[in-house]
Amino acid sequence: MLSYQHIYHAGNLADVQKHALLCQMLAYLTVKDKPLSYFETHSGRGLYGLDAAEAVKTGEAAAGIDAVEAREWFGADHPYMQALSAVRDQHGARSYPGSPLLARHLLRDQDRMSLAELHPQEFAALDGLFPRRAANCVKQDGYEMVMERTPPEPRRGMLLIDPAYEVKSEYDAIPAFVAKLHRKWNVGVIAIWYPLLTTGAHLGMVKALEALDLPKVLRHEVRFGPARQGHRMVGSGMFVVNTPFGTEDEAQRLSTLFTAL
C-alpha cells in the first residue's frame, strides 16, 4: 500500500515531537569529529509547503509547528530551530522540512546519508531535492536497504524508522527487524516513531520492543487532542535504542510542554 502522503500532516504535533528529538540526537552525535552514517527507511519527499492546499485542508500544521513557535517552545539556538530556519531561508517562510532535510542541515560533509522511499511521486521529489554528494536516495524497501548496508562504514551512526503504518503487520515486523539489526550493528542509534492510537494498535509493538532488553532505551510518548473529529491518532511516540546523551532531558522538557497544551 502506497497511498500515504505526508503533506496532509507535515508540521503537526507528532512531527514536532519526532523532529525535536531527532535534531537533539544528531546535534549530540555531530559534536565529535568522527564521521557517522545516517539512514531512513521511510523518507517521504523531504520538503513540504505548509501553504499547500493539502496542508491547509487538515489544519494540522496550524495546531502543530505554528502553535508551538507562537508559544516559543524552542529557542533560536535549538538544533530543530536552527535547521528549520536554514530551510526557510532557502525554500521560503512556509516551507517545512521532513526528517531527511532536517538531518542534512545538521550532518557534516564527512557524514554519509542513505534514504529509502517507495512511493513513486514522493521518491521523485526526494531524489530531486538532494544533490548526489549530499544523500544516496533509493527507491527501495527501507528495511531491505538498511540490512544491505549495515554494519555501515563509518560504524557510528543513526537510523530513523518512520513508517505510515498503512499495513497492520508492520507493528509486528518492526521488533524482529530491530532485534536482527542490533545484532549486526550494535553501536547504531535506532529510533522508531509510532502513533498513539485510540485502537491501541501500537501497544503490542512497544511491548515487544521493550522485551528485547536492548541497551540505553528511551520510550517517550506525548499526548494531544485528535486533529479532527474521529481522528484516531491522539499522541506520538519515539522508541530509541542506544539513546545519545542529553536526549532524555529534552524528552522530559517536551513532556512538560505537551502536558500544558
Set of cell numbers at residue 199: 485502537
DSSP three-state, residue 216: coil
- CA count, 13 A, side-chain hemisphere, 165: 18
Residue 97: CB partners within 8 Å, gap ≥ 6? 46, 47, 48, 83, 84, 87, 105
**Strand pairing class (37-40; 47-49):** unpaired
CA–CA dist 43, 46 (Å, integer): 7
Set of cell numbers at residue 145: 536497504
162 is catalytic: yes
Cβ atoms of 212 and 190 within 8 Å: the answer is no
From the number of C-beta atoms within 10 Å of its C-beta (0-12, 13-18, 19+), residue 165 rates as buried
Please provide the DSSP assignment of 68-99 as one string.
Answer: HHHTT-S-TTSHHHHHHHHHHHHH-TTEEE-H
Please list the residues that pair with 159 across neighbouring strands.
39, 190
Options 66, 162, 172, 249, the catalytic residue: 162
Please list the active-site residues: 162
